[in-house]
Amino acid sequence: MRNNGVLSKIAFWFRHMTFWKSVFLVLVVAGLYSTYVRFVYGLGAATNLSDKFPWGIWIGFDVLCGVGLAAGGFVVAGAVYVFHLDYYKPIARPAVLTAFLGYVLVVFALMFDLGRPWNIWHPLVMWNPHSPMFELAWCVMLYTTVLAFEFSPMVFERFHLHKAAEVVHKMIVPLVILGVMLSSLHQSSLGSLYLVMPEKVYPLWYTGNLPFLFFISAVAVGPAMVIMESFLSSRAFHREIEMPILSKLGKVTAVALAVYLVLRIEDMLNYHLFSYLFTFNTEGILFWAEIMIGVVIPITMLVIPRIRNNKRGLYYSALFAVMGFVLNRMNVSVTSLERHYGVAYFPSWMEVSVTLMIVALGFGAFAWAAKNLAVFPEAATAAEPVKAESYEVVVIEDDAQLKGEPSFGMEAK
């Protein structure tokens, strides 16, 4: 009977096939085939990676971008639960859900890039506290656990486990503080991975400020990703977008990007990089594209109230910020190393298909959660247990009572 129910649901899904469901299905099937090739025949059969150039799109996009794009979780949660900016509370749950899914998918994607993924547990027992990778591994594991706790009330409310949800709510402030600390540490540690290879990274991207730049750019792109998520979910689920809240969130992105730009200009001056800046080789062109698309354009758009308070204007400004962020991470992880190694890396179609499958799974998981869990404010309110009003019977002393006649009244607590 249970199998019949599953089959009927699958048949229903195919009968109501839409364009985006078709795209999702194609991406997942292609990704599963590439997954089979990668784990059966190895990295050499599925990728364009080599011993000379071992990190490609699976590290540059799936890990570096995935971790940074999920930064909206600690930014919004910190604002709501630590700084008590309750104005942002309606977008806290979607931000936490986006962050949780992002980190789960980062760990999933990392399994593809590791030569021996079954040894991923080694940092738990084989400690090397001097390695940025060790600190990064522990912070990601711990922060993913914290996000699971922050996400858990949505699941508890779905199954009416209100006592369990109340326990998590009582722990939420220390959990969020711990999450902000862990996220701040590993966002910057991603930059430290490239700080230890000064002779290999192209000068336009090498700086002692790399950890700070990685952290500040994550703080900038986190709210931008929340804006994009809110816009897309409002269209997909036919709900009203929280424009006043998102408009203020856009200011956060603009300020963080401005700080980021100041640090980049400072690096240009301190490291005397203007000769590289105006060389206009591949690295120079991509650096200019990164700065213009991801910093200058979104700042310009977000400081104009007419654009920032417009749905599409705010969405496109956030989109530019996200695109520039992705370009920066790909430049640091791929472009900046190609010249040193004498390699022109371009991912194979299987590498791309695995990445697209992971992105599709993220969209699919968010859509499922949004439909089945109390993610958005109206759903969260409906999921809360209704408290019945209690009453007590009180005696009203009046003339009837003095005469010995019965008299009753009810007064709400």
Q: Report all structural domains of the chain as residue ranges with CATH numbers, in order of start.
A: 23-412 (1.20.1630.10)
Find residue 394's DSSP bridge partners: 409
Q: Tokens at residue 379, please?
A: 């759903």
Give the pLDDT of residue 2.
56
Residues in the chain: 413
Give the pLDDT of residue 131.
85
Residue of 238, 237, 239, 253 lying closest to 307 (CA atoms) = 253
Residue of 60, 58, 147 lying closest to 95 (CA atoms) = 147
Could you tell me if 327 and 298 are in contact, meaning their C-beta atoms sit under 8 angstroms apart?
no
Locate tokens 């002393």: which residue? Answer: 397
Q: Tokens at residue 52, please?
A: 């000379």
How far apart CA 374 and CA 204 sit, in angstroms, is 45
The number of beta carbons lying within 10 Å of the beta carbon of residue 168 is 15
How far apart CA 193 and CA 182 sit, in angstroms, is 17
How far apart CA 279 and CA 381 sit, in angstroms, is 57
Could you tell me if 218 and 68 are in contact, meaning their C-beta atoms sit under 8 angstroms apart?
yes
First CA to last CA distance, the chain: 50
Q: What letter does residue 58 receive in the DSSP assignment?
A: I
Locate tokens 């990778």: which residue? Answer: 133
Q: Which helix (H) or strand (E) holds 176?
A: helix 162-195
Give the pLDDT of residue 156.
93
The number of beta carbons lying within 10 Å of the beta carbon of residue 3 is 7
pTM for this model (two decimals): 0.86
Could you tell me if 181 and 135 are in contact, meaning their C-beta atoms sit under 8 angstroms apart?
no
Q: Tokens at residue 383, please?
A: 């999921």
How far apart CA 196 and CA 208 sit, in angstroms, is 10
Q: Which parts of the chain have pLDDT scores under 50? A: 386-396, 399-403, 406-413
Q: Please report, to the nearest 10 degrees, the dihedral formed by the alpha carbons of residues 126, 127, 133, 139 taken in order.
A: 110
- 129, 170, 251, 302, 358 from 231: Cα distances, Å: 41, 31, 17, 16, 21
Give the pLDDT of residue 407.
46
